[in-house]
Amino acid sequence: MNSLSIEERAVKLAQYIIDSKDTVRGTAKKFGISKSTVHKDVSERIRKINPTLAKEVKTVLEENKAERHIRGGLATKLKYSNLKSKNG
């Protein structure tokens, strides 16, 4: 990913998020870059490069934000069910 320009990286990240519906954290992990970089690319830089793509990625990010509490609750439920099964 280092060989891409910042603009190319921003477009690639935005397209990935739109196609996969992945989160900023998941995207950062997949591409081996920081969450801050992903967030800056897909929320600020992409607006100047491709406003249409920016609107699409914003929609996905808003969906992810709205569902965040559900994923967190499921993770907590899984954590405690695993602890319960280990402890008997």
DSSP letter assigned to residue 80: H
pLDDT, position 15: 97
Q: What share of the chain is helix, strand, coil (3-state, %, to 5)?
A: 85, 0, 15
C-alpha 31/C-alpha 51 separation (Å) is: 23
Digit-coded pLDDT (tens) for 11-58? 999 999 999 999 999 999 999 999 999 999 999 999 999 999 999 999
Q: What percent of the chain has pLDDT over 70?
A: 97
